[in-house]
Amino acid sequence: MTVQTTDVLVIGSGFGGAIPAYYLAAGGARVTVLERGPRAAAADFTHSMRLGTYNKIVDVIQGDGVSVVAGNCVGGGSVVYFAASLRAPSFVFERHGSLGRRLWPAALTRAALDPWYDRVEEALPVTRTDWPDVSYAGGVLAAACRRAGHTCNPVPVAVDTSACTNCNWMLSGCRFDAKRSLLLNYLPAAEAHGADIRPLHEVQTVTPSPLSGHRYAVGYTVLDPDDYSCTSEAGVIHARVVVLAAGAVGTPVILQRSALLLGGIPAAVGRYFSGNGDRVSVADIVEDKARSLLGLSRPDGSAYQGLPVGRPITAATYDHLDPTAPEYSRFTLQQIYFPPLTNLLAQAAGSPAWFGVEKRNMRARWRSWLTLLAMTEDDNEGTFGVVPLTGGFTRLAPGLGQGTMTYRPTSRTRRAWDRADTALRDILEKDGLSRVRPWSEDVADTVTAHPLGSARIGDDPATSALTDGHELRGHSGLFVTDGAAVPTSLTVNPSLTIAALAERAVATIVTRAADTGVALRRDVPLPGR
């Protein structure tokens, strides 16, 4: 077994891991990043969904009542995401949820987070898009919104639109380096300052270190690149400070597995999991109506069928984000794209809903499906159960795992979903433009690509595992900076908020590193500056 030491050990290389890795390395620390997935670059992205390629860098993790889609590679979700980059509205930071009191730390408001959002937007960078950047599918949503008396806007994205070829494959990694994933900013900048990023290293435990000056011993296994369920070697790295950023599904499991050896962990670890209130629907557009009502048309069969839908996320309406409205009634509606394998999305009306003649007829109309994502206010009702022997879940096949999450939507979450479904119908069924088919859990669980909240920050020790500074309560020098730390669903796509929180957390991590004798520069510029 290999035994090594480092100053700062970062677990996971998505937004929550890459950002602290950069600042700590640039500040002068020895930084090691352990990442479970493989490392890939532009030329490796095959732009196909063939087994053996896509399922090497993306995992679908099935729980009980919820399935999560997540990146599994150096760069984490940033490599496979759609790059919609939005700040959470102010009211989100004031949410009370079902606890009846403010969930976010007192110090954290939207205004307080704005300087950190500014930094991330500059570092990635994020591009403001305009109507010429909007796909036909986004245009349909925008025109329908306008007819129904709503506004709709192009969505800002972490994409260099001048380099984008509109190839529609950003889901499986951008071959043109137009998508500004973490492979193009924070991670190479961290490596330029000496950070050691190790792909295919899966962390299993974090335990107290017996080595003088080192607080934690991080145990890992090295995964076989051809079969992630096989391991080739194991090792331990002793670190002065540990930053856990294995994603909201990975982080709580590592902590739960380590709980006894750590002498206990806060009860809130592995509770309060949120799927960001995500709700996917399909509007089956009546093409004649699109022509007569919206004045929109396209060559026969050119959209939305299969892949050629244009850029994956281009337009959204923010009209349902009224800060004065009651909680569980606010949401964003966004045009989105899902690949052909998600044909189960649209539910046939009769029974059975997912096969049979009616379903076949629906599938024949696939080219007219407009896919939509509502991001609502859920109730953080997810919990994590019995810890698997290794890893974050039991691997069933490449790209597929059985997780330990249970999610039973409460009446409040269902109310939020119902409101979003009704709003979609008001917009897209007006005058027979389409038939909206909301997600049905009869066929598949709640599905989210936005896992959050399983080890969250807050002021109340009973309901938040982390302090305002992202430190695990009772465990000095052990930080969580990924989506797990986000206290509530956000009503928008979460990556920019996860990243801004990680930027904000760096100051506390640097202070803790200094306590263990690692003196660091604090005036580190943005990556690439």
What is the binding site for ligand FAD (CB under 6 A)?
A: 11-16, 34-37, 69-73, 76-78, 80-84, 171, 202-203, 245-248, 250, 254, 313, 392, 449-450, 482-483, 493-496, 498
Closest CA to 451 of 399, 486, 480: 486
Residues 6+ apart with CB under 8 A from 274: 378, 379, 380, 381, 382, 451, 452, 453, 486, 488, 489
Nearer to ligand FAD, 126 or 140 (CB): 126
Kindly report each contact of residues 361-367 with a partner whose C-beta sits within 8 Å and lies 24 or more positions away, as own/partner.
362/284, 365/284, 366/304, 366/305, 366/306, 366/340, 367/301, 367/303, 367/304, 367/305, 367/306
Distance CA 344, CA 346 (A): 6
Nearer to ligand FAD, 23 or 415 (CB): 23
Phi, psi of 183 (to 5 degrees): -70, -10
Q: How far is the CB of 498 from ligand FAD (least distance, A)?
A: 5
Nearer to ligand FAD, 254 or 268 (CB): 254
End-to-end CA distance of the chain: 39
Q: How far is the CB of 190 from ligand FAD (least distance, A)?
A: 14
Q: How far is the CB of 437 from ligand FAD (least distance, A)?
A: 21
Q: How far is the CB of 111 from ligand FAD (least distance, A)?
A: 21
Distance CA 400, CA 411 (A): 30
Q: How far is the CB of 525 from ligand FAD (least distance, A)?
A: 22
| Residues in a beta bridge with 186 | none
Nearer to ligand FAD, 281 or 434 (CB): 281
Four-CA torsion 247, 251, 253, 256, nearest 10 degrees: -160
Asked if 83 and 159 touch (Cβ cutoff 8 Å), the reply is yes
Nearer to ligand FAD, 175 or 359 (CB): 175
Helix (H, G, I), strand (E, B), or coil: what is residue 338? Answer: coil
Q: How far is the CB of 79 from ligand FAD (least distance, A)?
A: 8
Nearer to ligand FAD, 203 or 526 (CB): 203
Q: How far is the CB of 431 from ligand FAD (least distance, A)?
A: 31
Nearer to ligand FAD, 50 or 521 (CB): 50
